Amino acid sequence: MDTTLARPPVGQLLDGRYRVESHVARGGMATVYLGTDTRLDRTVALKIMHAELANDEDFVRRFVGEARSVARLSHPNVVAVYDQGADGRTLYLAMEYVPGQTLRALLSERGRLGPREALDIMDGVLAGLAAAHDAGLAHRDVKPENVLLTEARSVKVADFGLARLLAGASHTKTGMLIGTAAYLAPEQVAGGTADARTDVYAAGIMLFEMLTGVQPHTGETPLAVAYQHVNAVVPAPSGLVPGLPAALDTLVALATSRDPDLRPADAGQFLRAVTEVRHGLPIADLHSTPDGRSTARRAAVMPPDLAAPPLSWPTEVTPPGRHGANMLPRPPGGPYAAPDEGFAASALTGRIADSGEPGNHTLVVSTGAPPAGYDTRHSHYPGSREPGLQRWLFSRKLGYLVAGLLAIILIAVLVWWQSVGKYTKVPQIGGLTATTASIELHNDGLKVRNGTGLFDNSVAKGDVVSTVPAMGSRVAKGTAVTVIVSKGPHMITVPQVTGGSLAAARKALRQAGLVPGTVSNEPSATIQAGIVISTNPAAGTSWPQSKPVAVVVSAGPPVPNFVGQDKSVAEQWAQQNNVSLNEVADAKSTQPQGTVTQQSPAAGGAFTPGQVMTIDISNGPPAVSVPNVDGMSIGQATQALQQLGFQVNVNQVGPLQKVFNYSPSGQAPQGSTITLWAGL
């Protein structure tokens, strides 16, 4: 497993496009983050698959195929899938970001909803599911957590992560239940089959929960809840909230029939039934033949008699089990008779208005009597049945079938638990901090035990080095995993290696457990060339074993300064030190001819035997014509020569001030001395 997938990806840029901003929620298959599409500059929801699933090639292949199928859905009541991709081993979906809250959050806040509000939400849920069913997809995990309610009061169905193409979704892997126990259809529990009708069943359970504030089947374990889905009927909502119209009882019974053939064939059919109830119409026969004749298996039909006078719907929602003064009264002999009175022949018509909503925003529904009492020992489906079917439902054969089915389920669960369920794998937490590693282990159902720390040159101090049992090992849930944390790299004292050769210094460093590093040369007037001058860090320093130690070696005496000296001095030094000279003429220098004007390497630098040293040598100053100063006074001659850059030397041989001779004549180097003779 790629351990980097275990690290929080906040701040990561996926595929160079999607920046992960913040954590939103974690689920069974993926973690959802708020993200930004940097290319289109829009906010998206990023669903990043868990690391262990990203390493399952079969899952990845199905994930890519199913993501493409879901992305083809374009419906206002379905959360849109924009993109799918993989950044290294990070598998992700880019989806529409829907601000608002989930239906689960609304139910937690309000307890239960009024009939009109519940039907409004069902309208959007079923419209989204109908689009998926028409495209050949079943959601397979319909529940309030996957219904998003936007700030604009629209409804969107989210998380088609469990969806499968209907053409190949008749069975899941042996022993595996896909979905949430509270909303599983009986056929999912019994045989693993999942199609559009299982989504209808889950939608019916969700309608029951919205109307009553509780789930119809509860238990201490998911298995106990699944058992009730197979063996118990979903009760009428009005049994928990007296006063609910019988039409709502009929809708719930229609969708939650334990026989999938008696349910609406898909979400579109159930949506039509909900729409008819919202308009006060009887629920149409969903299994009629093209010529209008009904088959033997029919959905429940609303009682036709609407002659009774209308009653107002209560304006305040009362929690389940409480009877407030504002609750719709049960008229004597009216539609809310005891369950064993069966369907009443008469009905009431009333206006449904949720608490807090204007009174004129209503919908008219039939409030006929609820179906006959639900017998949890047998399958009581609403609507008429053939006598033969009734005899079979109450025969011993059904009992034997149910008992055999339960035995198979229990054996399958037991085998699954012994072979897979009670085991897990030690997650790949190497390189994580001790705190993060502890959270990962607890999330996988494992206990944490702190082991003795170890020095490790490759793992930073405080990060996990290893575990006992080893990472990736198969262990029972609840096993204590010992976490070994790095104490940082091994620290070694740098030995004293100065005064010896480079080879001896490298050997001493290796023997101490350190790594010899770069070698640099420095000139020294006192230390012979090739001898180690120092180390970096200095001897006696505690140094990480994995970091190299730099060595400084003497290059011998530094190069002298030859600038301003005659070139013969440089030539003599070069011969003595086995250095080759490269003499370059300097025609621009005013220095005397043969004077060194520049050198490389510079004075004080290091050199090695055999090295080439370059010196620039002056050609001397330029020659200047000497004027004829004979017969001039000493002052006039001196001024004329100095203006040309010459130096003047006067020899007075008599009392007169006239020049009678000078030397040199003709031309002389600029700056040279001209001697004058005067006095005769």
**Which residues have a catalytic role annotated?**
141
Nearest to 354 by CA among 124, 120, 149: 120
Other CB atoms within 10 Å distance of the CB of residue 440: 20
If you search the block for the tokens 């928990």, which residue do you land on?
240
How far is residue 122's CA from residue 133's CA, in Å, rounded to a whole number? 16
How far is residue 403's CA from residue 386's CA, in Å, rounded to a whole number? 24
How far is residue 391's CA from residue 372's CA, in Å, rounded to a whole number? 18
DSSP annotation of 419 reads: I
Type of residue found at 679: G
Which residues, in sequence order, are CB contacts of 440 under 8 Å at separation 6+?
6, 427, 429, 432
How far is residue 597's CA from residue 584's CA, in Å, rounded to a whole number? 10
Nearest to 155 by CA among 65, 89, 76, 94: 76
How far is residue 519's CA from residue 508's CA, in Å, rounded to a whole number? 15
Q: Contacts from 649-655 at CB under 8 Å and sequence distance 24+?
A: 649/673, 649/674, 649/675, 649/676, 650/675, 650/676, 650/678, 651/675, 651/676, 651/677, 651/678, 652/678, 652/679, 653/677, 653/678, 653/679, 653/680, 654/678, 654/679, 654/680, 655/679
Three-class DSSP category at 647 = strand
Nearest-Å Rg of the Cα atoms of the chain is 49
Tokens of 125: 């849920």
Other CB atoms within 10 Å distance of the CB of residue 451: 15
Dihedral of CA atoms 162, 163, 169, 175 in degrees, nearest 10, equals 10
How far is residue 453's CA from residue 241's CA, in Å, rounded to a whole number? 61
How far is residue 202's CA from residue 210's CA, in Å, rounded to a whole number? 12
Let me know: does 140 contact 194? Beta carbons within 8 Å.
yes
Strands 659-663 and 667-669, sheet pairing = unpaired
How far is residue 648's CA from residue 638's CA, in Å, rounded to a whole number? 6
Tokens of 656: 């007169």
How far is residue 269's CA from residue 263's CA, in Å, rounded to a whole number? 9
Tokens of 166: 């209907």
Looking at the chain, the number of H-run helices and the number of E-run strands are 15, 32
Which residues, in sequence order, are CB contacts of 431 under 8 Å at separation 6+?
3, 459, 463, 464
